[in-house]
Structure 1
């Protein structure tokens, strides 16, 4: 029998508890990338984690959804401010050079 002809037994679907799903989503909300959470927990895909997040936020009601949108706004603002800071650092370096 060749190596291709050998078939592994079918894998059964893994079941995750609600607590496990909440903790996985919380890891992502705490700042870990979705890919790193998937790798650490041995999940099958990033899409699974995002689906859990969407389901959790829908079940939490409008307050959680508004908090999520506020977090996104603040992340965008932080990136903008960091870009401004970097420009100002470069300008300071240029003007403080003595030729």
Structure 2
């Protein structure tokens, strides 16, 4: 019982990360890895930490980085649309190819 009380009363120290670590973590996020997988892999408390670091880096980089981030998002959406269209065409080809 006394160990539980000691643990509860022990002060939690806040971890600090280097700027290089933060940049590499955000780079993993931007490379397409999910925030939860990056946070888990790096031992972070929450994926929200990554989003805060990403936002801070975008603000630091200025409007060009924000524009690039928006463009990347647009291209990802377009890529998903093209993948869906391709899959539909593949299925159509398979359906019409069976009748021959």
Please give the TM-score of this superposition, normalised by the length of structure 1: 0.91
Where do 5+ consecutive residues of structure 2 fail to align? none
Instruction: Give the match's secondary structure for 1:37.
Output: helix
Q: Which runs of 4+ in 1 moved over 6 A?
A: none
How many residues of Structure 1 are paired with residues of Structure 2 in the alignment? 98
Please give the TM-score of this superposition, normalised by the length of structure 2: 0.90
Provide the C-alpha distance between the structure 2 equivalents of 1:38 and 1:75, rounded to a whole number of angstroms: 22
Partner of 1:37: 38
Partner of 1:81: 82
Answering whether residue 33 of structure 2 is matched by residue 24 of structure 1, we say: no
Provide the C-alpha distance between the structure 1 equivalents of 2:2 and 2:64, rounded to a whole number of angstroms: 58
TM-aligned CA deviation for residue 2 of structure 1: 7.4
Larger % of helix: which? Answer: 2
Provide the C-alpha distance between the structure 2 equivalents of 1:73 and 1:92, rounded to a whole number of angstroms: 29
Report the RMSD for the aligned CA atoms in angstroms.
Answer: 1.7
